[in-house]
């Protein structure tokens, strides 16, 4: 890893990912979504570090993990023991955490020593980089920020793309667990409203219409059902905020499951 003083040398621009992480069971199963994560990593220059914005770390204020060795957090219940036995011992990177804090002009970022890597992070990074040899830090979602404020914070992190850092938003475009058909969780099935919202989101992403995505609450009933709470959608805003004009977009894992969940993922750049 090339370090100049406290920070990394400039590199060619890294892509940005939004990953639909879905069920934690993806960490122990071999399925098309895990294959999709693995395959996309082969298209990316090996990053010097990874920043994950996960739907599963909501905080009062904005925090960034700053420990040398983040714990693997099993933040779920009712799953098989083999899932809880998994460890993903990727190192942290305190100097990257400090750089994120410095770059975030619009908000105070607190260096956190208590969190770690939740399942929104390790279940998707692990199939991409199974050796756990790339530093990973997490940036939290401040639940008091508006979507516009999240978008603006993400824009401030843009130069990380030129420092070998892979930025990953981890959530789901459509995520309504209250309406999910659990018996069809392993099937490609989406309610009409879920498919409608997912298709519209992709259209807006391809058009670069970020303000419509930021204002998702004004986009009608399908969006209201698809995003009953914002935490799984907000990581998308962190990804698209880093999109350059006319930059290539690639969708993958683009399928609904269980009626009210979509695994749609995308690579920018």
pLDDT for the residue 214: 98
Residue 217 belongs to a domain: no
Torsion of CA 118, 124, 126, 132, to 10 degrees: -70
pLDDT for the residue 7: 58
- Angle, helices 119-128 vs 32-41, to 10°: value is 70
Residue 189 belongs to a domain: no
With b meaning 16 or more CB within 10 Å and e meaning fewer, what string describes 220-259? eebbebbbeebbbbbbbbbbbbbbeeeeeeeebbbbbbbb
Residue 116: CB atoms within 10 A of its CB come to 21
Mean pLDDT by 10 residues, the chain (269 residues): 55 96 89 97 97 98 98 92 96 98 96 97 97 98 98 98 97 97 87 98 97 98 98 98 95 97 98
Residue 178 belongs to a domain: no
Residue 203 belongs to a domain: no
What is d(CA 257, CA 146) in angstroms, rounded to the nearest whole number?
29
Q: How many domains does the chain have?
A: 1
Residue with tokens 């956190």: 112
**CATH for 125:** 3.40.830.10
Residue with tokens 């990074």: 125
Q: Are 150 and 231 in contact (CB under 8 A)?
A: no
Q: Containing H/E element for 65?
A: strand 62-65
With b meaning 16 or more CB within 10 Å and e meaning fewer, what string describes 21-37? bbbbbbbeeeeebbebb
Structural domain harbouring 69: 3-173+235-255
Using DSSP bridges, classify how beta strands 7-8 and 3-4 pair: parallel, antiparallel or unpaired: antiparallel
Residue 97 belongs to a domain: yes
The two structure tokens encoding residue 152? 């603006």
- 10 Å CB burial of residue 5 (0-12, 13-18, 19+) is exposed
Closest residue by Cα to residue 152 from 227, 222, 211: 211
- 10 Å CB burial of residue 208 (0-12, 13-18, 19+) is middle
Q: Read out DSSP for 126-155?
A: HHHSTT--S-EEEEEEETTS-HHHHHHHHH
Residue 202 belongs to a domain: no
pLDDT for the residue 87: 97
pTM beyond 0.75? yes
Residue 197 belongs to a domain: no
Residue 193 belongs to a domain: no
């Amino acid at each position: 890893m090339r370090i100049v003083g406290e920070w990394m040398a400039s590199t060619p621009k890294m892509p940005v990912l939004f990953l639909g992480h879905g069920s934690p069971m993806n960490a122990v199963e071999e399925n098309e979504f895990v294959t999709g994560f693995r395959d996309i990593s082969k298209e990316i220059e090996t990053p010097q570090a990874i920043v994950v914005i996960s739907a599963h770390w909501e905080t009062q204020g904005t925090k960034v993990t700053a420990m040398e060795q983040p714990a693997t957090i099993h933040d779920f219940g009712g799953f098989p023991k083999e899932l809880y036995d998994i460890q993903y011992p990727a190192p942290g990177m305190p100097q990257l955490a400090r750089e994120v804090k410095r770059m975030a002009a619009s908000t105070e970022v607190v260096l956190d020593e208590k969190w770690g890597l939740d399942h929104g992070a390790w279940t998707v990074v692990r199939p991409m980089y199974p050796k756990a040899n790339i530093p990973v830090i997490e940036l939290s979602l401040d639940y008091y920020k508006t979507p516009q404020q999240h978008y603006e914070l993400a824009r401030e992190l843009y130069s990380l793309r030129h420092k070998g850092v892979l930025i990953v938003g981890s959530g789901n475009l459509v995520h309504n667990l209250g309406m999910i058909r659990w018996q069809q969780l392993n099937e490609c099935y989406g309610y009409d409203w879920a498919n409608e919202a997912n298709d519209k989101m992709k259209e807006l992403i391809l058009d670069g219409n970020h303000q419509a995505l930021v204002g998702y609450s004004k986009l009608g009933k399908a969006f209201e059902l698809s995003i009953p709470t914002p935490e799984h959608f907000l990581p998308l805003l962190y990804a698209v905020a880093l999109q350059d004009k006319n930059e290539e977009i690639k969708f993958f894992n683009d399928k609904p499951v269980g009626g009210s969940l979509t695994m749609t993922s995308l690579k920018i750049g």
